[in-house]
Amino acid sequence: MLNVIILGTGNLAQQLCHALSKVDMVQLVQVYGRNPNHLVWFETYTATTSDVKQIHDADIYLIAVKDTAIAEVSGHLQYKNGIVAHTSGATPMDVLCAQNRGVFYPVQTFTKGKMMHFDEIPICVEANNPQVLEKLTTLANSLSQTVCELHSEQRMQLHLAAVYTNNFTNLLYAIGEDICLRNNIPFELLYPLIDETAAKIKRMSPSEAQTGPARRGDSTSMDQHLKILSEPQQQEIYTLLSNAIKAKYEEKL
């Protein structure tokens, strides 16, 4: 049995609370949050406290607060014997001041209120000693089929890759939607294409999957697209991304 305490009350804290409460080998002992109002949601799951002095003892403390608050929250735990782990992709492990420290980073985007199944969410772990690594790996395996040990620099790079494949991809979806809305076209027409684009890269590398006017070096189509684009920023993005594709495949044309 692993006794776990969650620190934080945001989206990820809720997801972890919900997921961990279903795991037999985990006892969710407590949730800590500074703001008592934000703790109400957690009360159906376990004990809560907004007083750092009332934080119980546990095997693992999972810090799920915004990146800039991790060091401060970990400061409240510096005399605890349990493992202190944060859940951030972009934060080095060593901002934690605990003797037994680690990272427990679920690679996913979470939507408030939509509880996710963790079994398909990869969890990246890191630890400052083998005992910590073993316990965090056990906890990760209790939730997910995919657990991967990454050191802080790798995790930062993975997080950066996620900015491209999640944040920036979403911006492109938004541009697609904007173009549709301006022209009275239902954006839903693009859903199956968006799904297949995401599915395709599991069958082949995205470098092989690349198609489109820039990939073919079809400058007639590209010129025409630039002409019918009404937003300067969308034009700029079109040009830069097309040039990147062209440069990548030019020798192969």
5/123 with CB nearer a copy of itself: 123
Strand ranges for the chain from DSSP E: 2-7, 26-32, 47-49, 60-63, 83-86, 101-106, 123-127, 147-149
Smallest distance, Å, CB 144 to a copy of itself? Answer: 10
Smallest distance, Å, CB 107 to a copy of itself? Answer: 5
- Exposed/middle/buried for residue 20 (C-beta within 10 Å: 0-12, 13-18, 19+): buried
Q: At a CB cut-off of 8 Å and minimum separation 6, what does 195 contact?
A: none
Smallest distance, Å, CB 52 to a copy of itself? Answer: 25
Q: Which value, in Å, is the radius of gyration of the alpha carbons in the chain?
A: 22
The closest of 128, 131, 153, 149 to 140, measured between CA atoms, is: 149
Smallest distance, Å, CB 22 to a copy of itself? Answer: 19
196/251 with CB nearer a copy of itself: 196
- Helix (H/G/I), strand (E/B), else coil: 72: helix
Smallest distance, Å, CB 29 to a copy of itself? Answer: 28
40/248 with CB nearer a copy of itself: 248
Smallest distance, Å, CB 153 to a copy of itself? Answer: 7
Residue 82 · residue 60 · CB < 8 Å: yes
22/248 with CB nearer a copy of itself: 248
Q: At a CB cut-off of 8 Å and minimum separation 6, what does 56 contact?
A: 5, 29, 30, 47
40/240 with CB nearer a copy of itself: 240
Q: Vertex 50, ends 48 and 55: CA angle to 5°? A: 70
Give the count of beta carbons closer than 10 Å to the beta carbon of residue 229: 17
39/148 with CB nearer a copy of itself: 148
